[in-house]
Amino acid sequence: MERQWSGKQENCANDRRQEQYRLRILVVDDDEQVRKVLTDMLAIHGHHTTTCPDAYIALEVVKKERFDLLIIDLGMPGISGLDLAGVIHAAFPQMPIALTTGCGKELNPDEISSKGVSAVLFKPFCLKDVKSLVEELVGR
């Protein structure tokens, strides 16, 4: 009986360790399919995502919840992803931010850095790209 209880305790400890590695990631993209694909890819690695279809909603969500990482689409109607990154970076300077873009245009490294963007993920991306991005920015 004591041995069985010990096993349960070990399982609980394993669950807590797994929970420690689970990140809370905010995905902001006006394309519902991209939000779904990113959510699925991140879930494969055990991460929890919250999604927003635009910058205005994302600003409200960031005020209420804590995130370990933000992944923001560059080209959105209204507030651009780069401008959203700048606003969030000003309020939460330690929060890692990545931009996604399908544009082939060159991004000014100084401009994106000044907005708090640490990495750019180019579309189309694959599971390996998303995993590498998370590991690079958050170390998990």
Is residue 114 included in any domain, yes or no?
yes
User: Which pLDDT value is given to residue 84?
Assistant: 98
CATH number at residue 65: 3.40.50.2300
**Residue 32 belongs to a domain:** yes
- The CA distances from residue 25 to 97, 122, 132, in Å, are 10, 18, 15
pLDDT at 139: 82
User: Is 7 within the bounds of a domain?
Assistant: no
Q: What is the DSSP letter of 92?
A: -
Please indicate, yes or no, if residue 95 is contained in any of the structural domains.
Answer: yes
Query: Is residue 8 in some structural domain?
Result: no
Task: For residue 53, tell me if it sits in a domain.
Answer: yes
pLDDT at 102: 86
Note the pTM of the prediction, 2 decimals.
0.83
Given this model, what pLDDT does residue 107 score?
A: 83
In this structure, is residue 70 part of a structural domain? Answer: yes
In a domain, 45, yes or no: yes
Q: Residue ranges of the alpha helices (H) in 66-118? A: 81-91, 109-114
Count of domains for the chain: 1
pLDDT tens sequence for the chain (140 residues): 333 333 343 333 334 444 445 899 999 999 999 999 999 999 999 999 999 999 999 999 999 999 999 999 999 999 999 999 999 999 999 999 999 998 766 788 899 999 999 999 999 999 999 999 999 999 85
Say how many Å lie between the first and final Cα of the chain, rounded: 37
Which pLDDT score, from 0 to 100, does residue 99 have?
Answer: 96
Determine the structural domain holding residue 27 and report its residue range: 22-138
